[in-house]
Structure 1
Amino acid sequence: MKNILVAGAIALGLPVVALVGTFVYISSPNGQVADYDNLVTYEAHAPGAANPEQLNVVSYNIGYLSGLTNQQAIERDKALFTSNQATAVKALGELAPDILALQEIDFDAYRSFNLNQQYAVAAALEMAFGAIAVNWDKRYVPFPYWPPQAHYKQVVSGQAVLSRYPIRRNERLVLEKVPTNPFYYNALYLDRVAQVTEIDVSGQTLIVINVHLEAFDAPTRIRQTQVVRELAEGYAEDYPVLLVGDFNSSLNRDEGDEPRSIGILLDSPALASALPAAPSSFTFPSDQPQYLLDYIFYTPATLAVVEAGVVAEAAQASDHLPVQAQVRLR
């Protein structure tokens, strides 16, 4: 009888141990957390002009260059990413940004054929300085849930700031996860981060805060937005600040019973949106824009906006359109 019980325990226990071991493995990172906020200098590219009259700032949720297939349960071929990269780089190249903030950019991911998209974009635009903020580093991601062959395997992805001016400091601040999600979901899900970069523009410090806020849970997004507002307002006491990125909220988008989180930033006394809340500013989805999810906020006390708009030329390289603003340091 004892032998039967032992055998039964082993028979039941081994699958559990295997399942737990598999989960620990697939949810573990590929790299080191110390490398999640690295600075990069591209020696081959010239820095920006000294004492510029104004800066061209662009923010772009690049959707890992998957175009309108982002979030779809389909397999993709390399030609799709090659074509979308060419479209995105051409549109960005015509703008010649001095500062480019990117969200959903892959550094090394099976889903985008393991191309370091940050290097590719920086090389194409000849931008001398870069900073990364990794927010997703997993060995396997069971999404989309079906079919299994469309699952993401290795994913190292996140946000990046490219600049023609030296980036003196780069900090990655992890924001709150959705507390109502089960632990296994959060263990495999990406982090939401605020990437804070300090850029030296001919001796003047400019703070750029690059964010990609929670998409699916409005209460969590509201709390993240409040944290980001306080962060930006704190820096604004001493420096000009640009708060840019994908805020996943629009004044004309239903967010259930919760107030629209973007209103928290629009109500800030220290910040202003470079783009008006009008159909001409809509950025998502890129083929038929209905919502303004992507913003460039600035500090009117220390920065002036010369012009701003949506970059329609990026077409459907991503499911978002980029936004750009010409700003002048006061």
Structure 2
Amino acid sequence: MKKIFKTVIYILLVLIIGALAFFFWAKSPNLDSSEYAKITKFNGNESSKAVEDSVLSVITYNIGYLSGMTNNTSVRPAEEFYTNNLKSIISGLKKHPVDVLAIQEIDFGGKRSYYVNQFEEMGEQLGYYNGCRSINWDKKYVPFPYFPPSVHFGKMLSGQAMMTNFEITDYERVVLSRVQSHPYYYAAMYLDRLVERVKIKVGDQEVMVFNAHTEAFDQDTRTKQMFFLKDWFLKTAETMPVILLGDFNSDPSYENAAILEMYNDERIGAMCSKENLLGEKTLTYPTDKPIEQLDFVFYSSRHFELLDWKVLYDLGEVSDHYPVLANLKLKKSEE
């Protein structure tokens, strides 16, 4: 009996040690943190934007790593699915050429999207001059969705990116506040929520663009992040034109919706007025039947005039989000 008991204990110890070893290996990064922020000049592409043109066209797009409505579900689409969605998104975006393309949830060679660097593929084929990318999820193995194991994300390398025909003169990857209530094992596998701070040169004028992706599941953390972004936006707007765009994961109908913080200061302009929020042509999520408005473009009203904007419903279901396009005109200097 004692021998059986010792054998059981031994087996349990081996399983526990094995599980711990797997956990610490799985949560370890693929890259050194010094590689998490990078500026790229796309091969053979040149800046095609006339510096005297004062109109900036921008798109914000959570592409959901091109997984369509399978995003975060226990479905593992075939490689052909992602290949076709990559072709589709490139074809769709070519119909809406813009000066600044800001992307959230883009993969840089992870298993879930068959090891394709979507940033490099899109930047090259869309003909952008340069771009920057920030990694916010770098793990050796992510066991999500939890079951069955065949649909696990596995090697994870994902984040945010921006592509532009203007020269990028300064760039910073900034990690937003984390959810404090997550248990250790969950937090160890969770992504960082980021904002990319990108300074571009428009003629002799510098413009700051913030590409944000705020917390999706914890409202208190999301609100904290929104206050931080608003404060940073307003401080930066004291010295230069500012654009803040991205997926804010905050529908205006939510109780104490964090996104509404951007609507209570006249120094901040929005592509959609407060009165028109949640209108028929403003909803961005999900793409099979839009019911929420999660994606926004904001700008410093002192520096920009909004010409027009729209949700690009013609991009279809390559993501679970629709992109938002806005045309902004730089005002003449007040000096």
TM-score with structure 1 setting the length:
0.94
The count of aligned residue pairs is: 324
Within the candidate set 247, 260, 264, 1:263 is matched to 260
Task: List aligned pairs for 1:7-156, cutoff 5 A.
Answer: 13-47=13-47, 48-156=49-157
What letter matches 1:22 in structure 2?
Answer: F
* Backbone CA RMSD of aligned residues: 1.8
Distance 1:228 1:44 in 2: 35
Match of 2:269 among 265, 268, 272: 272
Aligned partners of 1:229 and 1:268 also within 8 Å: no
- Percent identity at matched positions? 34
Whether contact under 8 Å (1:286, 1:315) holds in the other structure is: yes
Which position in structure 2 is the counterpart of 1:192?
193
Moved more, 181-190 or 81-90: 81-90
Q: CA deviation at 1:218?
A: 0.8
The answer for the alignment partner of 1:170 in structure 2 is 171
- Describe the shift of the 1:302–1:25 C-alpha distance in structure 2 as closer, same or farther (beyond 3 A): same
Task: Assess if the C-alpha contact under 8 Å between 2:199 and 2:206 holds in 1.
Answer: yes
1:271-310 to structure 2, matched below 5 A, reads 271-276=268-273, 277=277, 278-310=279-311
Query: How far does residue 123 in structure 1 lie from its aligned partner after superposition?
Result: 1.3
1:244 equivalent in structure 2: 245
Aligned partners of 1:107 and 1:115 also within 8 Å = yes
Q: Distance in 2 between matches of 1:173 and 1:57?
A: 21
Shift of 1:92: 1.0
Structure 1 residues 270 and 19, CA, compared in 2 at 3 Å: closer, same or farther? same
| Aligned residue number for residue 326 of structure 2 | 325
- The aligned amino acid for 1:280 is K
Could you tell me how far apart the structure 1 residues matched to 2:92 and 2:146 are?
A: 33
Q: Does the 8 Å contact 1:286/1:318 carry over to 2?
A: yes
Unaligned runs of at least 5 residues, structure 1: none
Give the deviation of 1:41 after TM superposition: 0.9
State the AA in 1 paired with 2:19: L
Tell me how far apart the structure 1 counterparts of residues 97 and 217 of structure 2 sit (CA, whole Å): 33
Counterpart CA distance in 2 for 1:8 and 1:120 is: 52
How many Å separate the matches in 2 of 1:11 and 1:299?
63
Q: Which runs of 5+ in 2 are unaligned?
A: none
Tell me, what secondary structure is at the counterpart of 2:95? helix
Aligned partners of 2:213 and 2:51: how far apart in 1?
A: 31
